[in-house]
Amino acid sequence: MTAEAGSGVDPDSGFGAGFDAVGIDDDTRLVYRYVLAQGTVRVDDVVRDVPLEGTDAAGMLARLRAAGLINRTSGGEGEYTAVDPRIALRALTERTETHLDRIRAAIPDLADLFEQTADAGESGAGVHVIDDPALIGAWYTRLEHEVTGEFMAFDRPPYVLAGENPVEPLVLERGVLWRAVYAAEVLDRPGAWAEMRYAASKGERARIARTLPTKLAIADRRTALVSSTLDPHRPTAIVVEGGPLVDLLCAAFEAVWADSIEVPATDSLEGAAPPDRGPGKDDRALLALLGSGAKDETIARELGLSERTLRRRSADLLRRLGAANRFQAGAQAVRRGWI
């Protein structure tokens, strides 16, 4: 993330997974944020201001132009300007969502076809469609009990089980690696941030993503439970046991995980550190929440602050980082290893 940028850009746009789907990698995404912040840029500006470590700045600008996110002016200076993201990103998102919806809608039919033609006993794989909330919850708990090495999850509403999970601490005690990505909308529920940090302090590795396309649980990279509909009144899920579909879901999880923001554990924030040596008490939590895209009122509530105090602390944090805005603060925090 670049430390040289203009104003008005959030430190993490949260569109990494969508950009990956159209062939735009993380470095190119940083260039896009830079163009948004500056308004008009040339290739030399990108080379000078964005830490790309020798990658092709001109090629990145060309990919952004091909995606409809920026324009190139007709003059001889080779200048690039941003297209209004409210239009360009909405169009990009709608195209991606359309593809995902088509895939999601096809899952039940494909699963039925698979069950009719596949010999699960011979192939070692199986697909089951579940449309009963109790059975979906039972399968999730079964995966928790059966996992021995690694558990991966996408956590987002709606829920079929109660918020508190009494099984997870028992699983963590067995030495299982538990990784969870939470959708930012989870933070709308009071107390959710404290629960995330408490789970992180007990061993869960947690991150926050702006959005998640579905709910997902994978045990030992062998069995997956994935929601095929997100209707709170009529939830439907698919159980996949073994085979390339599980491998595909694992790859999807890793892509979202790599582009999400870490949730700091409660016990990692005790005590203060000098401003020039690292973050002080709750600074990592504040940076994570700012980067998650949560609203100021949500951040203030979860940190137990008034919105006025939140604004003051945010301004102080930006000052310590030498940043003029949240975009620069995120860049500096990443460069310093704060988040």
> What is the dihedral sign for C-alpha 288, 294, 297, 302?
negative
Give the strand order in the sheet containing 70-72. 40-41, 80-82, 70-72
Least confident range of 9-13, 121-125, 134-138, 174-178: 9-13
Q: Do domains 16-87 and 118-262 have the same CATH topology?
A: no
Q: Is the pTM of this model over 0.85?
A: no
Instruction: Output the pLDDT for position 211.
Output: 85
pLDDT at 225 over 90: yes
Token pair in block for residue 187: 């933070």
Instruction: Output the pLDDT for position 267.
Output: 44
DSSP SS3 for 100 = helix
pLDDT at 5 over 60: no
pLDDT at 123 over 60: no
Token pair in block for residue 262: 């870490």
CB 194 within 8 A of CB 186: no
* Strand 126-130 to 70-72 pairing: unpaired
Instruction: Output the pLDDT for position 329.
Output: 66
Q: How far apart are CA 321 and CA 317, in angstroms?
A: 6
CATH class of the domain defined by 16-87: mainly alpha
**142-168 tens-digit pLDDT:** 899 999 999 999 999 888 766 567 788
Span 269-336: which CATH code?
A: 1.10.10.10
User: Does the 118-262 domain belong in CATH 3.30.870.10?
Assistant: yes
- The domain limits of the chain are 16-87, 118-262, 269-336
Q: Is 213 exposed, middle or buried (0-12, 13-18, 19+ CB in 10 A)?
A: buried
Across 226-240, 257-271, 316-330, the highest mean pLDDT is recorded for: 226-240
Q: Which amino acid is at 276?
A: D
